[in-house]
Structure 1
Amino acid sequence: MSRVKSWSTGTCCRWCPQPWPTATACSEARGGSRGQLWRRGRRMCLCRRATWFAARRMNYLLGLLAALFLTCSALAQSNPVRREPGKMVVVGHAGSGFLRPFNTFNPLPPSSLRSELKALRDGAEGLEVDIQLSQDSVPVLYHDVTLNTMTKTGRGCTSEFPVAVLTSLAYAGGWPYDWFQHERIITLDTLLARLARRPEFPYLHFDLHEDLPCLNPAQAQVHSAALARQLVRLLQRYRVPAERVLFVGDHEATLRRLRRLWPAAAQGYEITEDFTGNFSKARALGVEAVVLNGDLTTPANTAQAHAAGLAVVTFGGRSAKRIKQLVGADPDAYEVDNVTKLRRRLGRK
């Protein structure tokens, strides 16, 4: 079979999809032998072939990237907590975190008003809020199990006192924190009223604290129903968008009640031990996310959750090394004690 089809009217070779123009062949032919022309033509053909295949590979890669983008977009639409890679939501853990003497100094009690607002000033996109219920069924912000540990004069549980008593209790951080803070317990209504002044609500993660030693099993059921009912009623009164809300807990009865009352609001099942067993419970409940402590936030666990269509929210970690480790696990949201440090790690200003 002849390698060269025509020397006068046009040339082509078996390696190229199209013939060369006659002008090119004639130009190449000047001053060269038939063999030289063939070698030059072959090099040109091979170059064309390489370019053609490179273009096909580029189109293939662009197609893959487009498919990945569409997949991520579809996930974000079907699960409001899921985020595309690199789009992690920065959430202030109980606001600006917990009392700490250094790295960096924080005198503000967790889930106090100043703590929550400081996290937003530091650049947080969302807030984690610790929610408990007063004796007269008013949602209040408080983290610890009893009032003994974080207030100056309070004793017992939030469920034992009406809201008027709870909001009169001053936080006690001890020395030197109390030199810099004069916070009191606040209601969720107070926080929402402040947030409603903003152009839009931040993402709100409501950590439901229900394991109170002052409640017997029968009281706990009544408490669960009242908590779900009052929480949804208050959020809807302030018209907080459902896509900005995440209810976090590990009490299945409460999560089911919240689902009936507000189906559009996302839920997160908190897991602090036995990932395998509790992950199965989370899937059975139909929640949108699993909320993992630092020890369980690993690349493997995150990948398993994402493969099942669940988002991952992590919390904890104060040091730069620990924050870097948790970011590397690729969670969708990070409830962090130090918002500034996390934003710096993510390269956000």
Structure 2
Amino acid sequence: MKQPIRQVLLLCGAWLPLSAALAQSGANTPVAAVPLQEVQVLGHAGSGFITPINPFNALPPSSLRGVEKALKRGADGIEIDIQLSQDSVPMLYHNRELATLTNTREGCISTRTAASITSLRYRPGWPYDWFQQERPQRLDTLLARLVKRPTFPYLHLDLHEEDACTGYDDGRRSRMLIRALATLLSRYQVPPGQVLILTNQPATLQYIHEQMPQVARGLEVTQDFDAGLQLAQSNGVQSVVMSKYVATPERSARVHSAGMKVVIFGGRSSRAIRRILCCQPDAVEVDNLRQLLHLRSKAKGA
């Protein structure tokens, strides 16, 4: 067994018996944890977030080149952030304000048309501007590229349903976003089994099921795990999507015992990624693809 895999097993060893016991104790049909070599690896926001080291990444989150870089590196798929423009077009963009990542000083995705948004340029600052010339893009632009691939990659759509300019309110814009997504996924014949749509809004989860019953849904949990697990169960979602700060082996086992899959997002350092793997996820939306793919490759050859 190769050294990195031995380190993972040593780090996880104390938790594995407890996790197995919890998974067998659930009242619902449990989901078996997948072995390391079968963990689904997705690029978090494409190639991750803008970082100076470990790894250096100048590409903005959810940018086209970020997605292309992740898939070229060998990711099974990508997680991308989706927001609705003023004229009801699903856009790829992560932040709550345009001024934090682009060359405009005001506004949000919700207050601009798609044409106005795609005319902007990403400007994350020095030295990153030297290495990229990206613009925010429409989701359909990305889908048109992905359908040309031999195999459609796994696609996690993270819905950002409010921004600094527009709140969630009565959920009207969220329903518009879901209808727009349903139209695009159908138009580009995206395989439903390759898609997970995630949100932290219970009403949106229900509307996704009404509009796209064949597409898997995930509840994002970033704080109160117990409340999140209860909400996930009551809404009948297929996956619980946890921050690396929330995830533990015991919590993953509880999710599996409740019949749902575990998705964990985050992880740049080797230690952080090994800790995530201890939680026995089914999929990881990772910030350091090279490191996680290396560990998975070692596991396959062990």
The alignment's TM-score, normalised by the length of structure 2, stands at 0.86
Q: Which runs of 5+ in 2 are unaligned?
A: 1-28
- The match for 2:253 is 303
Q: What aligned pairs does 1:6-45 form with structure 2 within 5 A after superposition?
A: none
* Cα pair 2:34 2:280 within 8 Å, conserved: no
The answer to whether the aligner puts 1:230 opposite 2:180 as a matched pair is: yes
SS of equivalent to 1:210: coil
Correspondent of 1:155 among 89, 93, 106: 106
- The match for 2:41 is 90
SS of equivalent to 1:92: strand
- The match for 2:13 is none
- The match for 1:284 is 234
- The match for 1:177 is 128
* Cα pair 1:224 1:253 within 8 Å, conserved: no
The answer to whether the aligner puts 1:188 opposite 2:129 as a matched pair is: no
In the aligned structure 2, how far is the partner of 1:155 from the partner of 1:252? 30
* Cα pair 1:131 1:142 within 8 Å, conserved: yes
In the aligned structure 2, how far is the partner of 1:235 from the partner of 1:101? 35
Q: Deviations over 1:1-25 (max 9, x none)?
A: xxxxxxxxxxxxxxxxxxxxxxxxx
What letter is aligned with 1:126? Answer: G
Shift of 1:82: 7.4
In the aligned structure 1, how far is the partner of 2:168 from the partner of 2:242? 26
Aligned length: 272
Shift of 1:215: 2.1
In the aligned structure 1, how far is the partner of 2:32 from the partner of 2:211? 22
* Cα pair 1:140 1:187 within 8 Å, conserved: yes
SS of equivalent to 2:273: helix
* Cα pair 2:168 2:174 within 8 Å, conserved: no
SS of equivalent to 1:296: coil
Q: Deviations over 1:265-307 (max 9, x none)?
A: 0000000111011110111010001000011111100100000
Over 3 Å counting, the alpha-carbon distance change for 1:217 and 1:316 in structure 2 is closer
- The match for 1:344 is 294
Shift of 1:227: 0.3
- Cα RMSD between the aligned structures? 2.0
Q: Which runs of 5+ in 1 are unaligned?
A: 1-77
In the aligned structure 2, how far is the partner of 1:345 from the partner of 1:133? 36
SS of equivalent to 2:171: helix
In the aligned structure 2, how far is the partner of 1:91 from the partner of 1:194? 17
- The match for 2:268 is 318
- The match for 2:149 is 198
The alignment's TM-score, normalised by the length of structure 1, stands at 0.75
SS of equivalent to 2:165: coil
SS of equivalent to 2:233: helix
What letter is aligned with 1:117? Answer: E
